[in-house]
Amino acid sequence: MKLIKLKPKNNAKYHFGESGLDESSVIFHSDSLFSAIINNYVKLYGDSKEDIEKLKSVKISSLFPAYGNILFIPKPFTKLNFNTDAQKRVDEKPKQIKKVEFISLNALENHNKEILELEDDLIIHKKFLISPFQNFVTGKLSKK
């Protein structure tokens, strides 16, 4: 698998959504991205059926949000694996985790190791969970 970061220019104007301008989405879905790639390919290089067939074999995912260098993915459907202390906090405030929609790749790694931590400052805007030591401004890990 290869990760490609698509970063819009500063102050770029765009809209992600399923329908009109009334509703927006944080995610740019894979079918829309694939359609955009094919449409631009045809505009640039013409309507070569062979080339388009080759492009159909490419596998892409949706575009997910990032903040600085922190990359987010949708929160897994499975129960998140917190460490013992954090699980006590989750049990006290289950809605706090239920509202989280995205977790950072580093938090996912901690979830997979069953060492995910939870503190109030690790949930950003009630929707984004980062791991400790991740600097929300730079996205880099530090040793606290």
Domains of the chain, residue spans: 24-62, 66-129
Predicted TM-score (pTM) of the model is 0.75
The 10s digit of each residue's pLDDT in 23-62 is: 778 888 888 888 888 889 889 988 888 877 887 788 888 8
Q: Is the pLDDT of residue 92 over 90?
A: no
Dmax over Cα atoms in the chain, in whole Å? 59
Q: Which of 1-15, 26-40, 128-142 has the lowest mean pLDDT?
A: 128-142
Q: How confident is the model over 2-29, as a mean pLDDT?
A: 79
Q: Is the pLDDT of residue 74 over 90?
A: yes
Q: Is the pLDDT of residue 127 over 80?
A: yes
pLDDT at 14: 78
| Angstrom distance (rounded) from CA 31 to CA 41 | 15
Six token digits for residue 95? 């809605």
Q: Between vectors from CA 138 to CA 127 and to CA 73, what angle results, nearest 5°?
A: 35
Share of the chain above pLDDT 70, in %: 92
Q: Is the pLDDT of residue 134 over 70?
A: no
pLDDT at 135: 61
Give the number of other CB atoms < 10 A from CB of residue 102: 23
Q: Is the pLDDT of residue 8 over 70?
A: yes
Q: Is the pLDDT of residue 107 over 80?
A: yes
Burial grade of 103 (CB within 10 A; 0-12, 13-18, 19 or more): buried
Write the CB contacts of 70 (distance below 8 Å, at least 6 apart in sequence): 104, 105, 106, 130, 134, 136, 139
> Do residues 67 and 136 touch, judged by C-beta distance below 8 A?
yes
pLDDT at 137: 55
**Averaged pLDDT of the chain:** 82
Distance linking the first and last C-alpha atoms of the chain: 31
The DSSP secondary structure of 28-73, one letter per residue, reads B-HHHHHHHHHHHHHHHH---HHHHHHHHT-----B--EETTEEEE
